[in-house]
Homo-oligomer: A and B are copies of this chain.
Amino acid sequence: MRIIEGGVCAVPGVKAYGKRDENNNGLAIITGKGNAVGVFAQNRIRAAPVIVMNERLPGVMNAIIANSGCANAFTGERGLEDAKRMAQLVADELGVNSKSVGVASTGIIGHYVDMDWIEEHVKEVMDGLTSEPGGSEAAARAIMTTDTILKQVAVEVDGVRIGGMAKGSGMVEPNMNTVLVFIYTDADFSYDVLYKCLKTAVDDSFNMIVVDGDASTNDMALLTAVGKGRISEHHFQEGLNFVCTELAKMIARDGEGATKLIEVNISGAISKDDARRAAKAVVRSLLVKTAVYGESPNWGRIVSAIGRSGADVEADKITLEFSDGVNVVTLVKEGNIIEGVLDQARALMARDAIVIKADLGLGSEGARAWGCDLTCDYVRINAEYMT
């Protein structure tokens, strides 16, 4: 497996382009025909595009149209009409059935999509479609909201390519701040295999940066297979896992107002579920997040978060380490506090990516979760966000 340039455009047969204006309205279109599957928001309040796409997938898709600025959520019948109309606009340009065009939205809840603006810009974006790397970049940029970094990655495995882009940055509760993921591959698989692989990859990546397994009204991850490439399901899964994990880490690192990426690595859990629960509890703890921001190796908050996660835990079995990826400092060894290491741990926390490793010492299951620190900038961004 090797990382390659070009995002979704790294996949033969895929074109993309996007456009945004100074009022934070954005429009992205991606084309490429093939079997498509999706994983959607679990929120009981579902945005119009999520309702529409949930009906359309699995199915053959010719394109995806996505807008930023308006979530098209809590918009009733008119919202559904608008979502379908967005797909229709692209379908008309391509001369295909409108049900073969995907639609996604991100932005403010409770407002109608500015359809005039969309209609005005569809032609322009269609005209810009390209298989050059710049196309994927323009599309990924068009769907950014509070995102500060562009999120795309592509890999080649056994001659097959997998390219993806993502949008999302509300790390403290990322599930409230839409995560959109569009992945393309030229591997050839049935809907069943594609869905199984996507679900598996999402569970270990985007669902591990999500605070508590909930989801926003608008979240969706779409995977479209546009080619005839042959690859073992196992290797394809590895490639897809890599793409999803890298995009998920980009989202975590781009947490609103964040200065540091936090990776929590749980091992020694009795069950996979316990490991996930413990990892997520640490990542979502505001006290851990603020401690990381303050570069304070406050391991007591980590142990307490694990303790209240619901996972089976015994205080005298826990081993806790901090790492920056290279150096490792052990703070607790099988329940015993290691004295005299706090200064080393503090120095390590000055780095911009912190790994918290906890071995529960009870079993052999593990999980990883990602998050970021909580800063005043997060509060400012979200206090000032318009209604």
Interface, chain A (partner B; CB < 8 A): 42-45, 71, 73-74, 76, 108-110, 170, 172-173, 175-177, 212, 214-217, 285-287, 290-291, 293-294, 296-301, 303-316, 335-337, 342, 346, 374-376, 378-380, 382-387
Contact = CB atoms under 8 A, between A and B. Distances in A.
B379 A308 contact: no
Nearest to A214: B308
Contacts of A294: 382-385
Contacts of A74: 300, 303, 315, 335, 337
A291 B375 CA distance: 16
Contact of A382 (B108, B286, B307, B386): B286
Given A301-B109, A337-B110, A382-B294, A44 B176 contact: no
B385 A374 contact: no
5 contacts: A74-B337, A110-B299, A342-B387, A375-B379, A376-B379
Given A42-B308, A110-B303, A376-B379, 10 more contacts: A44-B313, A73-B304, A74-B315, A74-B335, A76-B335, A110-B300, A177-B287, A291-B383, A296-B384, A378-B379
A383 B290 contact: yes
B387 A44 contact: no
A333 to B, nearest CB: 13
A285 B376 contact: no
A380 B285 CA distance: 15
Nearest to A314: B44
Nearest to A301: B176
Contact of A45 (B307, B336, B376, B380): B307
Nearest to A212: B212
Contact of A307 (B44, B296, B336, B337): B44
Nearest to A45: B307
B293 A379 contact: yes
